[in-house]
Chain A
């Protein structure tokens, strides 16, 4: 392995790791804001308890999201300095905007939310969590706009004097069709994650409470929470299908190599069949045997009609790129793209199953007592996390060997191979950072999982049973009242 491979592994590991925590943060902040809003409106204590319960889990997750995010802000310059030089003029802008607009908002107002219970007026305190929810989603928008430039560069020109890409229109960059499709897709994925998390945890607690004979608690607290989660799953699921379809059609047009390899479509042809299962040595396209195929689907995915669609295959695209960009291997890892695409779609079924079964079983005013439903709730929780990872692995590894993929209708010189973007470091240096991050992340990941697990099992805690009494206890330093929260 040389520094390039190690750098790729490092960026892959650190971003996949970051994106374990990110979707839960993005999706859970608005759900907690909804729970707190329901408490403020209905004044029912169980909404307060749910807000505190999921709030604790949110904060455990938020910490690791922040910790793993810090790395990314440094890593472009540390490991990908040539890439940073080439696109910094364009790529830096959304990153700076993300800091100015989103990171300040979420971090500052999260501090106010955590420590502001009983100190801020109720409505102001409610506004803080809504601002956090807006902040986390805004940050997703900016970083996805930055990523979309790498997939489909727009709004920039190539300056031959400096050999760099230069921004010509921030508006075009921020309304990149790739970004406008990828952002709602990622957000829908995040809501699916948080919906599944809330439905899974609350569903498991509902069964547990019923079996303990605390049916009232199950009915007033966990049933509504689980149903909110399930409703979010359904809406997010529909959103995912729709935005995924839009994104797929864009990819067929703008990044044909990515889609051809995702379908293990070797040779160009009219109306090729959609492949569900293949065996063979994937990275030799022609050795793959297609076991199950469905006709028509691929044409519909690509252009929204069932026949008369001309699609390019990997082999032909490779020839085309060779002529256009010179000799080289322009194919991504076909095995990874093929299976990550199917994993992403297949695993989303876990959330869907929980939502449909759960909504049916809790219809009317029913609560669920079956033990298997408790297991289903728990088992569904990891599936959207894995689907998110698979989706990003597909997106990112599908654009290999490019770090800035050429835009077929854009400026041809704005393209960069991954091998041209990497910093010039000795392999040993990069191995040190790869090992360091991997070890630290593994340790912290274990701590995170242990804490989440223990706090889920502990359930809503006794000291959070009732909201803090009055909000005007501020400023009486003569008789110090205890802080409602302290580290």
Chain B
């Protein structure tokens, strides 16, 4: 394997980490209003939100680092992708901004209106990226109108083909399911029960839609070996359902994480060795070779990644271990935000 291939794998791995970890963060944000209904709704919402309390910020850094690594290793890919998908990324950034502030500021003021606004921010900041990432991934595989100057021509609507929209629905459903299983794993009492039920009811549509999109991807763009990734996506989702129903949340979470990871492998595997194919002429395709940095930069970045990544993974895993305890309503302290005047 050459260094270009290796860096394609590194980029894929960083996005894999991002989608596996932020997938359930988005799911938690998406399902918080649904699971937070009924008696004691405020406490229930806080139980749900606090399942990701100490870790969501670190999870989000996977995206920032993936983008930095993309810039360093494949500057042409970075430049073409971000300038070509301008408005989707603008919407994505705005929703991420809202989510950061809404999560951090929610408990700062003890007032129902304030909390409702923050909940809206968390909802928007979770639903929109969950859909948009699927759209972006679909277009990465399908290709866009890249011209001879590596500029993306063509309108905004080109990015929202049926294939891309199905991709968006896939990631949204998959992340919702992943989040539901995660909440069930991290909570005790009735929130756990409700999250388990929600996971079971989400599992069937998630399997159907993900299966459809993954099969479409495989048939239209896949390679021989990506059938394995496709098989793993479906197998993982299929065993997640009985595991969730049986209350085996740890295993069920492992299964949904494996499904997300396999889907990312399928996506990047189908793309390879292109990184952004051109729908105008395959001579204009961005590939791992014509979009990459020089050999020296790739080598330096390889050493940096080799030394830092294991440390990062180590302390992030330790953080999950520290906060492994299940959260119940009884754990939630009274609100300590300042009162409204």
Contact = CB atoms under 8 A, between A and B. Distances in A.
A111 B59 CA distance: 11
Given A96-B69, A107-B60, A477-B325, A487 B103 contact: yes
B105 A63 contact: yes
Contacts of B142: none
Nearest to A108: B58
Given A112-B322, A477-B325, A167 B333 contact: no
A74 B95 CA distance: 14
B68 A81 contact: no
B75 A67 contact: no
B305 interface: yes
B75 A63 contact: no
A89 B107 contact: no
Contacts of A109: 315
Main secondary structure of the interface of B (DSSP, over half): helix
Interface in B85-126: 86-87, 89-90, 93-94, 96-98, 100-101, 103-109
A64 B101 CA distance: 7
Nearest to B122: A487
A77 B81 contact: yes
A53 B19 CA distance: 35
Contact of B61 (A103, A437, A474): A103
Nearest to A113: B54
Nearest to A429: B86
Contact of B293 (A89, A111, A482): A89
Interface residues of A, number: 83
Output the residue of B103, B106, B296 with the most chain A CB within 10 A: B296
B240 interface: no
Interface string B284-319: 000000000110110011001100110010011001
A400 to B, nearest CB: 22
A114 B101 CA distance: 16
Contacts, number: 251
A76 B82 CA distance: 8
A70 interface: yes
A166 B296 contact: yes
B83 A461 contact: no
A97 interface: yes
* Most A-side CB within 10 Å, residue of B46, B73, B93: B93
B209 interface: no
B57 A88 contact: no
Given A66-B57, A486-B50, A486-B107, A99 B332 contact: no
B293 A115 contact: no
B79 interface: yes
A114 B304 CA distance: 29
A82 B75 CA distance: 10
Interface stretch (A357-365, A390-398, A451-459): A451-459
Contact of B315 (A67, A78, A96, A108): A108
Given A89-B75, A115-B54, A166-B296, A486 B82 contact: no
7 contacts: A73-B68, A78-B89, A81-B83, A99-B61, A101-B304, A167-B293, A455-B108
- 9 A-B pairs with least C-beta separation: A88-B75, A77-B82, A92-B72, A99-B65, A92-B71, A63-B104, A111-B54, A81-B79, A81-B83
Given A100-B308, A167-B297, A444-B101, 10 more contacts: A77-B67, A85-B79, A92-B73, A108-B57, A166-B297, A424-B83, A451-B108, A483-B332, A487-B50, A487-B107
Interface of A: 59-60, 62-64, 66-71, 73-74, 76-79, 81-82, 84-85, 87-93, 95-101, 103-105, 107-112, 114-116, 119-120, 159, 164, 166-168, 170, 423-425, 429, 432-433, 436-437, 440, 444, 447, 451, 454-455, 458, 461, 463, 474-475, 477, 480-487
